[in-house]
Structure 1
Amino acid sequence: MNKKAILLIAMMAGLTGCVSHQTYNAIVNTQQLPALSKLCIQENNAIDPSKEYLSIIANRFETNKINTQVYAQQKPSDCKYTLTYDIKKSDDNTVAISKASLHLFDNGLQIHTAQYNMNDIFVFDKNKAAKDKLEPLVDQLSVK
């Protein structure tokens, strides 16, 4: 290989590590995720007082034919599967989501986490809408 080709490959490899990405960290194999018909979602007013993120998440589950019920503190007794969410915005005072995690539980035991992490070094989709970052995470949990 010539030096230009090696340099080009090295530059391309460096760029791939700098874009935002989605990771799905399963506690169990995704093939073992339950086919959900109902899911209870716990509100997170500390990070989502306007309920914008909650609305995006619940609507996407409904689109995927999974009934949702939102609860504030006490999990309803008829909820086998529950979901919590954590979202962090960028440190540069924008409203862009830099990290998001959806945690799926089966009777209180965590069975899966879907995560979005933005790499701040060189970001192409930093200002993507929250919907565009959260819906793929919901889809990952919506196994049929």
Structure 2
Amino acid sequence: MNLSLWIAAGLLTAVALTGGFSKAFIPRATLAAQHGGEWTQAAGPGFVKALGVLELLAAAGLILPAALGIAPVMVPVTAACWIALMVGAMITHGRLGQRGLVLLNSAYLALAAFVAWGRFGPWPFGG
């Protein structure tokens, strides 16, 4: 189970890195022109960039604390925060009628819930 939790955290990290880099470093107009990025038209540029930075921090928080052995409890805390982020993403994409993206965000939410449950519960680091 430990390996499954690491794999789930790794997958979420890849998602967070991809989304974080795109939101933090790609111009908002370019994001708005892409499928799934339409929501950025109504969001301020600072908000989009801040969300990107939060996703980059989430990528670090899902792997580095456990890998470095420094405050590994931050892994499930980060996973729990990712759940909240995915709820917001699901609401946003749902309002735009992007059902496929809502389902994708639901899958990310499920992975994050698995990591949070496993690391807070039966398989904590150092336990």
TM-score range, shorter chain: under 0.3
The TM-score with structure 2 as length reference comes to 0.24
- Return the TM-score normalized by structure 1: 0.22
